[in-house]
Amino acid sequence: MKNYLLLLMLLPVFVIAQEKENAIVNIGSGDQFSEKVAENVQYVLPEFKGGVVYFRNGQRSSSQLNYNVYLGEMHFKDKDEVLAFMDLSDIILVVIDSRRFLPFNDKEFCEEVLANDKARLCLRRYGNISEYSKMGAYGMTSSTSSIKSYSSMYGSNNNRTDLKFLGEVKLTVNNMYYFMSDKGKFTQIRNVKNVTKQFPGNNAKIDAFVKENKTDFKKTEDLKALLEYCFTL
C-alpha cells in the first residue's frame, strides 16, 4: 500500500473530466454493439491514446488504451485486436494521455479528477443500455461484448458473445463521484453530509460554501471547487 500511495503522489495530477451526452442508436438483428456504436460514444476518450499501466510488482506496460464506459473495461490494442484487462488485482494505476484511472472495487475503473494529501475525488462512469422507441417496445436479448478478454496482459483469452438488439436503444452514462481514502476505500459523494464527514470540525464553513455557490453534487466542476475549498480548511 505504501508503494501504491507513493506512486499516486509522485505522478502529476491533470484534472480533466468530460460528461458524455446520451445517444440513440438503431441496432438491427445480428449487429454488433462494438461495431455499430462509434468509439467516441463507447469510450471516455474519442480515440485510443498512448498510455501506461502500472502494476503492483513495480512493472509497467505501454500501449494504446481507452476505457469503455458501457462494458466497464479498460481496453488496449494489440496489433489489429482490441483486448480487455479482466484481472485488475495486479493493477494500481492506468495513465492515458495524462488522465489517471484507478481500479474501482477490482471490477472497473474510475477517473481521478482531483487529489492532494488529504483526499482524492474520483469520477465513476456507469453506462446503461435500454430499449427506446417512440413507436413501441422492441425485443432485446442480454449479452456482453465480442472483445476478447484477458486475465492479465499476457493471459489466455476468454471469448464473450456480442450485444444483439432489435430496434432503437438508448445509451446513457451515469456519473457517480467518490472520495478515495489513503487506504484505498471509496465513499460515494451524494450530498454535503458526505463531504463534511471527510473534513470534521468544518461543517458550518462547508455548508456556507455549498449554499453560497449553489453546489451541484452531480457536476464535476462544482465538486472540484468544493473540494479545493475543503483542502484549505
Buried (b) or exposed (e) across 166-186, using 16+ Cβ within 10 A? bbebebebebbbbbbeeeeeb
Beta bridge partners of 61: 53
The pLDDT value recorded for residue 96 is 95
Strands 148-150 and 81-85: parallel
Instruction: State yes or no: pLDDT of 19 exceeds 60.
Output: no
pLDDT at 208 over 50: yes
Place of cell 482490441: 82
Q: Look at residue 100 in the predicted model and tell me its pLDDT.
A: 95
The answer on pLDDT for 196 being more than 90 is yes
Q: What is the pLDDT of residues 70-113, one digit of tens each?
A: 888 899 988 888 888 888 889 999 999 889 999 998 889 999 99
Q: To the nearest whole percent, how much of the chain has pLDDT over 90?
A: 42
pTM (predicted TM-score): 0.75
- What pLDDT does 158 receive? 38
208/212 Cα distance (integer angstroms) = 6
Q: What is the mean pLDDT of residues 162-173?
A: 65
Name residue 65's beta-bridge partners: 49, 76
Q: What is the pLDDT of residues 131-158, one digit of tens each?
A: 665 434 444 433 334 344 443 333 223 3
Enumerate long-range contacts of 222-231, CB under 8 Å, 24 or more apart: 223/114, 223/121, 223/177, 223/189, 224/15, 224/113, 224/114, 224/121, 226/195, 227/114, 227/119, 227/121, 227/195, 228/114, 230/118, 230/119, 230/195, 230/198, 230/199, 230/202, 230/206, 231/116, 231/118, 231/119
| pLDDT at residue 201 is higher than 60 | yes
